[in-house]
Chains A and B, each alone.
Chain A
Amino acid sequence: MRSMIYILCFYVMSEAYGQDQKVIYQYKKYEKFDLGNLEVKGQLIAPGDISVRERERRRFELDLFSRDNFDPFLTKDLESLR
């Protein structure tokens, strides 16, 4: 029985010690691509006409002052009399 307890204590201690240890992950430092070896399957064609289609440009028109009444002038004229 006593030996069982010793084994159990030993196990628990070793588990606790194991948790404190840092795990180090190491990534690949570099990966080499041999572009010369790459092969794209398809047809080789000459560069074509690259063009941008004319599109309507969005314009923000400012609201310019355009007089549509002379209301302030009515009062001003009346005030000019006396």
Chain B
Amino acid sequence: MNIVILMCFVFVSHFTIANEKKAFSIALEDKKYYFSALNEFFIETYNKEILNDDLKKLESLLYYTGIELLEDYDNHLLLKYPTSSTRFILGRKAFQEKKFKSALDHLSKIHPDHRYFPEGKLIEAQVLQAQNKIKERDESYLACQSSAEKNESSAQNDKIKRYYRMVFEICLINKARHHFKKEEYKEALSAYDRIPKKSYKWPYLLLEKAWVYYQMGDYNRTLGLLTTYKSPLLDTYFFPEAEYLAALTYFKLCLYEDSLIIVNQFYQFYRPRFQALDLILKKNRSSQNYFYNIMFRADEELIKEGEFVTQILTRMKKQTRFSLDFNAIFKIEQEIKRIEQNENKIIKEKLVPHLEEVRSNLLTKINYNAKTDIFQFLDTIPFISQELYKLNLEIISKKKDLVYFNKRLIADRSRGDYSNVTRSRFEYFWKFDGSFWADELGDYSMGLKSNCQTIRNEKVEEESL
């Protein structure tokens, strides 16, 4: 009898404590301290049986905080909470770790009406691509596009609309990329052309489209697309690969002097600056906040070496990833401020240190991403330098051939003619008058004739005789 009374007492006391704890997380949520409430929610529930109400509550908290905070959480803990948000995180993690089966398992359980469904389908398509399941991959891309469009139309603010538009476009662009890989160039172009010029992705696609035209042998269109990067509107988009492709295309047209101008410009102007930047940035490689700080205030030393880093940083700031992380930091700072202003000392001491820690983690994450992006960009320089060097050797070799065979190219520097411009009936045509107009961007084409025809050097022959 005594044992039964004792057991009842333990149960009641336990329940009361649990309720108090639960009340605390609810109280925090009521006061709109969402980040603190999320932390308290996990403390309250991690060692208990998870009920449907708990899952609903978790989803409602994550709606405000975003899922970025959960990325560092242990998988076992996340598995205890089978919500669409946690499944999305687990699926994404599994994909990054190349555990494709597990990734598909998690991603397939995301509810079709959930806000992460379109992005989940995008990841799923990439998993299926890795498994070479082409038909299923295409179905996932289609589901991604249709769900992203649906979510975009019902989104409440512009930021969320932009996010879904971005997911939609990435799914579409990936399809174009798969066509390109299969040498289905026309299909690739028609997918690329569905991306409007005002899209954030559009400047990046110019390079990809230029490669498509290059592989199709339409060198004039390749050069025209790459010229678009010279527009003042796109001055933040500098890609060493675009310089290489332009030089390579001139080489294919046997316009060796034009090709050499690009090669020399790269060696004399860009490469020394990139090397100087590399040295400055490597000094700060282990810093926890240097790259975060330069996103807001560029280092004087960096500015001296050119605008490249500022340009890379501007591009990064436009990424959804940065926007989400920075938004989370902003919200956390607001929450800390409100707690500092409105709560007593005990509550402050309980909540603020955790929020400070979360803020610091997000800051480190942004710093890490910025550092990775900058160094990935700088790492492309040696490769492109090497390829340009090879191209330079090829040009010298071709010129030697001409001397050896006592020949010369049909023209020293062949200039354009409208007759050399190939275009479909859907493509516009404007003459370039020395200035870039926004509506023309991306539709340029050179009118250069291939200079590869050679003629015998008669004069030299006569002289030698």
**Chain A interface residues toward B at CB < 8 A:** 54, 57, 59, 61-71, 73-75, 77-82
Which residues of chain B are within 8 angstroms of A61 by Cβ–Cβ distance? 394, 397
From B123, B208, B244, give the contact of A73 (CB < 8 A).
Answer: B208
Count A/B pairs, Cβ under 8 Å: 67
Is the contact region of chain A dominated by helix, strand, or loop, or is it mixed?
loop
Question: Interface digits, B170-197 against A, CB 8 Å rule (1 contact, 0 not)?
Answer: 1001100100110000000000000000
Query: Is the CB–CB distance between B394 and A62 below 8 Å?
Result: yes
Query: Is the CB–CB distance between A81 and B320 below 8 Å?
Result: yes
Query: Is the CB–CB distance between B394 and A82 below 8 Å?
Result: no
From B180, B248, B404, give the contact of A57 (CB < 8 A).
Answer: B404
**A64-B248, A65-B244, A69-B181 as given contacts; A82 in contact with B173, CB under 8 Å:** no
A68 to chain B, nearest CB (A): 7
Query: Is the CB–CB distance between A78 and B123 below 8 Å?
Result: yes
One of B282-290, B304-312, B331-339, B385-393 contacting the partner: B385-393
**Chain B interface residues toward A at CB < 8 A:** 67-68, 119, 122-123, 126, 129, 166-167, 170, 173-174, 177, 180-181, 208, 211, 214-215, 241, 244, 248, 319-321, 324, 387, 390-391, 393-394, 397, 401, 404-405
Which residues of chain A are within 8 angstroms of B405 by Cβ–Cβ distance? 54
From A59, A68, A77, give the contact of B174 (CB < 8 A).
Answer: A77
Query: Is the CB–CB distance between B397 and A59 below 8 Å?
Result: yes
B331 to chain A, nearest CB (A): 16
B454 to chain A, nearest CB (A): 14
A12 to chain B, nearest CB (A): 79
Which residues of chain B are within 8 angstroms of A59 by Cβ–Cβ distance? 397, 401
Which residues of chain B are within 8 angstroms of A82 by Cβ–Cβ distance? 67-68, 320-321, 324
Query: Is the CB–CB distance between A78 and B170 below 8 Å?
Result: yes
From B177, B215, B241, B390, give the contact of A64 (CB < 8 A).
Answer: B390
**A82-B320, A82-B321 as given contacts; A64 in contact with B173, CB under 8 Å:** no
**A81-B167, A81-B321 as given contacts; A65 in contact with B177, CB under 8 Å:** no
Sample (30) of A-B pairs whose CB atoms are under 8 Å apart: A57-B401, A59-B397, A59-B401, A61-B397, A64-B390, A65-B248, A65-B387, A67-B241, A68-B215, A69-B177, A70-B177, A70-B208, A71-B177, A73-B177, A73-B208, A74-B126, A74-B177, A75-B126, A77-B170, A78-B123, A78-B170, A80-B319, A81-B166, A81-B167, A81-B170, A81-B320, A81-B321, A82-B68, A82-B320, A82-B321
Query: Is the CB–CB distance between A80 and B321 below 8 Å?
Result: yes
Give complex CA distance A68, B405 in Å: 33
Give complex CA distance A82, B93 in Å: 12
Which residues of chain A are within 8 angstroms of B167 by Cβ–Cβ distance? 81
Which residues of chain A are within 8 angstroms of B208 by Cβ–Cβ distance? 70, 73
Other A-B contacts than A74-B126, A80-B320, 12 sampled, CB-CB below 8 A, are: A61-B394, A62-B390, A62-B393, A66-B214, A69-B181, A70-B181, A70-B211, A74-B177, A81-B166, A81-B167, A82-B68, A82-B324
Give complex CA distance A63, B391 in Å: 9
**A57-B401, A64-B248, A67-B211 as given contacts; A79 in contact with B180, CB under 8 Å:** no
Give complex CA distance A66, B247 in Å: 12
Which residues of chain B are within 8 angstroms of A73 by Cβ–Cβ distance? 177, 208
Closest to A80 in B: B319
Which residues of chain B are within 8 angstroms of A63 by Cβ–Cβ distance? 390
Query: Is the CB–CB distance between A69 and B180 below 8 Å?
Result: yes
B172 to chain A, nearest CB (A): 11
B213 to chain A, nearest CB (A): 12
Which residues of chain B are within 8 angstroms of A64 by Cβ–Cβ distance? 248, 387, 390-391, 394
Give complex CA distance A42, B184 in Å: 73
Query: Is the CB–CB distance between B119 and A68 below 8 Å?
Result: no
Which residues of chain A are within 8 angstroms of B321 by Cβ–Cβ distance? 79-82
Closest to A70 in B: B177
Give complex CA distance A52, B449 in Å: 35
Which residues of chain B are within 8 angstroms of A57 by Cβ–Cβ distance? 401, 404
Closest to A75 in B: B126
A74 to chain B, nearest CB (A): 6
Which residues of chain B are within 8 angstroms of A77 by Cβ–Cβ distance? 170, 173-174
Query: Is the CB–CB distance between A81 and B119 below 8 Å?
Result: yes
Which residues of chain A are within 8 angstroms of B319 by Cβ–Cβ distance? 80-81
A3 to chain B, nearest CB (A): 93
A58 to chain B, nearest CB (A): 11
**A69-B180, A73-B177 as given contacts; A78 in contact with B68, CB under 8 Å:** no
**A64-B390, A64-B391, A80-B319 as given contacts; A70 in contact with B180, CB under 8 Å:** yes
Give complex CA distance A67, B195 in Å: 21
Give complex CA distance A62, B395 in Å: 11
Give complex CA distance A67, B210 in Å: 11
Give complex CA distance A62, B173 in Å: 32
Which residues of chain A are within 8 angstroms of B119 by Cβ–Cβ distance? 81
Closest to A82 in B: B321
Closest to B208 in A: A70
